[in-house]
Amino acid sequence: MKKNVFVFSRLAPEHQERLRRHFNVTLLDPAGDIAAQYAAALPEAHGMLGVGRPFGPAQLEAARQLEAIASISVGYDNYDLAYLDERGILLTNTPDVLTESTADLGFALLIGAARRVAELDAWVKAGHWQAPVGPAQFGSDVHGKTLGILGLGKIGAAIARRGRFGFGMEVIYHGNGRKAELEEELGARYRSLDELLGEADFVCVVVPLSERTRRLIGRRELALMKPSAILVNIARGPVVDEAALIEALQERRILAAGLDVYEKEPLQESPLFALPNAVTLPHIGSATHETRRAMAERAIDNLERALLGGTPRDIVNPQVWARRQP
């Protein structure tokens, strides 16, 4: 008998068909009654697949048959891991496949903020380009500057490579520990958080969200940055104190910010919208056709292995999987 899978995010037709080969599939209809659909699907679900919704006791209490959730994401801060562990529910994610796309986006924000791309695009379209540009339209160089990476994991390292080898930037970093191989490859130098903030021309935030990193960048940290420095956040919104960042941008205590993530999403109203020195994107780090397809395929592969036999490639809570083994 086929197991039941509840898909709570959009999924391409070919991926829906792949799931249906092995499972009874229920797709969430975003135009329908969301609560009613969850109430109907969860008690029967053996597996779930999707991204973007929080799951813990309140959401999963009725899902008594649930064995696995395959998240189409790298981050998993939406999931109550302690509760999943207690229930024996396996969680998988999709690392690696979005590394390069997200790094592309991070560097695009860096360049866009430095060269004022979005601001000057709007300026031209508003009809203000009536004479040769002057200092009022000048931006900042990227090449040869100091690139500070907070969190030199896979995505952070990919951004660092773009800066070091593409733009001749000096790379400094801060994280949980030293990365000897990356130091050798990139000539990267380890710094304390305060040292990095004081030295870097560009500060790229690429850390996972946790209680330790929540509001890692606040008023004190922003005050350590150069007035000419630019902050880029492609991690999670709550890693940066948004109100403090807005104040720093308004008062020009830092030069600019490039943001793809926010404390509350979707961002529909914010003082950021009135700031010409803030580039605001709608959380699109992995949003390319190629990457989203690869992420969905990786998540489906994980779910198939979890429910049909085999070991999933990307297990977030391996202790749950270990308990299942004979």
- For residue 107, the one-letter residue type is F
Q: DSSP string covering 133-179, please?
A: --GGG-----TT-EEEEE--SHHHHHHHHIIIIIH--EEEEESSS--
Task: Work out the burial of residue 32: count CB atoms within 10 Å of its CB; fewer than 13 is exposed, 13-18 middle, 19 or more buried.
Answer: exposed
- C-beta separation of 113 from 232 below 8 A: yes
Q: In the annotation, is 236 catalytic?
A: yes
Annotated catalytic residue 253: no
| Catalytic, out of 116, 236, 292, 298 | 236
Residues in contact with 119: Cβ distance below 8 Å, sequence separation at least 6, in sequence order: 276, 277
The C-alpha atoms of residue 232 and residue 239 are separated, in whole angstroms, by 12
Q: Which member of 18, 46, 116, 283 is catalytic?
A: 283
Catalytic residue among 14, 17, 265, 290: 265
- Radius of gyration, CA atoms only, the chain: 22
Which two tokens mark 247? 């104040």
Residue 274 phi/psi, 5° resolution? -90, 0
Residue 212 among the catalytic residues: no
Give Cβ neighbours of residue 136 (< 8 Å, ≥ 6 apart). Answer: none
How many Å apart are CA 221 and CA 218, to the nearest integer? 5
- Return the active site residues: 236, 265, 283
